[in-house]
């Protein structure tokens, strides 16, 4: 039994319906609160290892709800985007799977936070879009309101951005290796949680591609012809 199903079996009764709706609403509320407190509300809710160890345990949850932008314009798009992606993913994948994905990701981020004193939830949300694109790769978005682009290609851009963030952190190593690692671990955590839930699917698809390639190559060498319908059925 692989790791994904062991986790699901252990936590099989955990499911929060409309999880991302609550989180998106919390982002909006905290953003408004920051406007009236000059950002103090986010500081009071952010992940802070020393403060948590001093008893401010709410930060273990509230850091997941912080708005991902400080722009009054972009907060509208940000909140709607996370609501839409979360709702669509939950409808396609189920509340339990959605909850477990977010819970595992949160635990990994908390571990990195205690290990280094820093964590960043934004990469978990980036990885959530990878989930959406995996489940509905042909969903179309309108980039800049005019350019149609499928979710799978946006996911590629998303993954490349995360990898660039990871690679750029190496530039900090000559100054402070600890800081560089602290910036990299949340990226690794985001990829890890995605890999836990979908790594087998990608690996299986890759194996099948190689298997089909070798099979067709062998048929070609033996001069065996296959109709288009037979080939399509074989690839299903």
- The answer as to whether 199 is a domain residue is yes
Model pLDDT, residue 222: 59
- The answer as to whether 22 is a domain residue is yes
pLDDT digits (tens, 9 = 90+) for 183-199: 999 999 999 999 999 88
Model pLDDT, residue 220: 57
Of 91, 54, 83, residue with least CA distance to 67:
83
Model pLDDT, residue 7: 62
Q: How confident is the model at residue 207 (pLDDT cuts 50, 70, 90)?
A: very low
| Surface-to-core class of residue 24, CB atoms within 10 Å of its CB (0-12 exposed, 13-18 middle, 19+ buried) | buried
Model pLDDT, residue 12: 73
Domain extent for 156: 3-205
- The answer as to whether 224 is a domain residue is no
Model pLDDT, residue 32: 95
Alpha-carbon distance of 169 to 217, in angstroms, equals 43
Model pLDDT, residue 127: 94
- The answer as to whether 183 is a domain residue is yes
Model pLDDT, residue 219: 54
- The answer as to whether 220 is a domain residue is no
- The answer as to whether 168 is a domain residue is yes
Question: Residue 87: pLDDT above 60?
Answer: yes
- The answer as to whether 87 is a domain residue is yes
Alpha-carbon distance of 51 to 64, in angstroms, equals 16
Model pLDDT, residue 224: 58
Average pLDDT of span 72-97:
92
Model pLDDT, residue 210: 46
Of 81, 83, 192, residue with least CA distance to 127:
192
Q: Are 35 and 86 in contact (CB under 8 A)?
A: no
Share of the chain above pLDDT 70, in %: 79
Report how many domains make up the chain.
1
- The answer as to whether 223 is a domain residue is no
Model pLDDT, residue 73: 87
């Amino acid at each position: 039994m692989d790791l994904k199903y062991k986790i699901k079996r252990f936590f099989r009764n955990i499911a929060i319906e409309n999880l991302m709706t609550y989180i998106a609403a919390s982002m909006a509320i905290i953003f408004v609160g920051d406007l009236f407190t000059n950002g103090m509300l986010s500081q009071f809710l952010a992940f802070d290892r020393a403060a948590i160890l001093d008893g401010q345990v709410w930060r273990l949850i509230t850091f997941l709800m912080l708005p991902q932008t400080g722009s009054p314009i972009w907060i509208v798009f940000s909140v709607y985007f996370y609501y839409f992606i979360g709702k669509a993913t939950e409808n396609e994948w189920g509340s339990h799977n959605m909850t477990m994905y977010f819970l595992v990701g949160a635990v990994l981020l908390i571990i990195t936070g205690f290990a280094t004193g820093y964590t960043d939830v934004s990469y978990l949300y980036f990885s959530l879009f990878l989930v959406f694109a995996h489940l509905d790769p042909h969903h179309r978005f309108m980039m800049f309101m005019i350019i149609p682009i499928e979710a799978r290609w946006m996911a590629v851009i998303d993954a490349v951005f995360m990898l660039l963030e990871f690679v750029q952190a190496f530039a900090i190593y000559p100054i402070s290796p600890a800081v560089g690692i602290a910036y990299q671990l949340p990226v690794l955590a985001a990829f890890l949680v995605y890999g836990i839930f979908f790594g087998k699917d990608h690996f299986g698809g890759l194996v099948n591609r190689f298997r089909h390639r070798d099979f067709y190559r062998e048929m070609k060498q033996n001069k065996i012809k296959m109709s288009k319908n037979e080939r399509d059925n074989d690839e299903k």
